[in-house]
Amino acid sequence: MTFPRARKGVRKIFVAELITLFVGLATGFLSIFFENEIRLLPQAIEGLTKGGSLEMNGWIVLIIAGVAVVLSLFAALINLIGYIQASRDETSFLGALIFMLLNAVLSGFATYFQQSNEVFSGAFTISASIAELFMIILTVKGLVNLSYNLNSRKMVARGNVLLRLIAVICLLSVVAEIVVFLFRLNVFVTSLLFAVLITNLVLSLVYYIIYLIYLSSCCAMLSER
């Protein structure tokens, strides 16, 4: 039994995740080392349109940010095509595709209300996180189902462990986001839960790396069959 469409789709999903990881690292780099330039970037761009100039740091931020936006759009397109292809061989990817689109819409609303309505922005951010959780769970579930159909017990076992890990870490992260949002004016609670969010961030990075390794292994498995 072979799954040619799933093979092509999963490979595209893996490539999209690698690009997304690169964009995340680049964005984190900018946030750490060019915080002031990022904050003043809208004014700097407006100044450029009026014939102004930018300092070297401003150009670095503008170029990296521009490349990050282009790569993000490219990754989103590859991801979309990948899920559509994979869903033709495994229905779990169709559910993941729906939650991926829902996550994109909710994230857009969160960004739209970020400056004008903090409550709406927070609610949409939390909803987007929940949608992303279901997207990843259904993706791994689809990979587990493919592994089962290909009689790869090892990949099934690894996928089930990953599913439990993702569910625990993501649920803790969503709960922490909700509590921080609800008690954002309480300095003690916010400080305590900020530490929890940092811990979750580290754990999320660990599970994301494991997830990428599992995706890569599934690509190899599907190619072999």
In this predicted structure, the answer to whether residue 155 has a pLDDT above a threshold of 70 is yes
State residue 205's pLDDT score: 80
CA distances from 225 to 4, 15, 139, 220 (A): 9, 20, 20, 9
- Name which of 120, 36, 26 is nearest 70 in CA terms: 26
State residue 184's pLDDT score: 61
Residues 129-151: tens digit of each pLDDT? 889 889 989 999 999 999 999 98
Higher pLDDT, 186 or 19: 19
Q: What long-range pairs does 108-117 form, CB within 8 A, spacing at least 24?
A: none
State the pLDDT confidence band at 25, using cuts at 50, 70 and 90.
confident
Higher pLDDT, 57 or 164: 164
Q: Would you say 223 and 8 are in contact if contact means Cβ atoms under 8 Å apart?
A: no
Higher pLDDT, 176 or 41: 176
Mean pLDDT of 143-162: 92
Mean pLDDT of the chain: 81
State residue 225's pLDDT score: 65
In this predicted structure, the answer to whether residue 49 has a pLDDT above a threshold of 80 is no
State residue 52's pLDDT score: 55
Residues 76-121: tens digit of each pLDDT? 999 999 999 999 999 999 999 999 999 999 988 888 887 777 778 8
State residue 200's pLDDT score: 66
Q: How far apart are CA 181 and CA 98, in angstroms?
A: 26
Residues 201-216: tens digit of each pLDDT? 777 788 788 889 999 9
User: Which residues does 176 contact at the CB level (< 8 Å), separation at least 6?
Assistant: 193, 196, 197, 200
Q: How far apart are CA 166 and CA 133, in angstroms?
A: 8
pTM of the model: 0.81
State residue 120's pLDDT score: 81
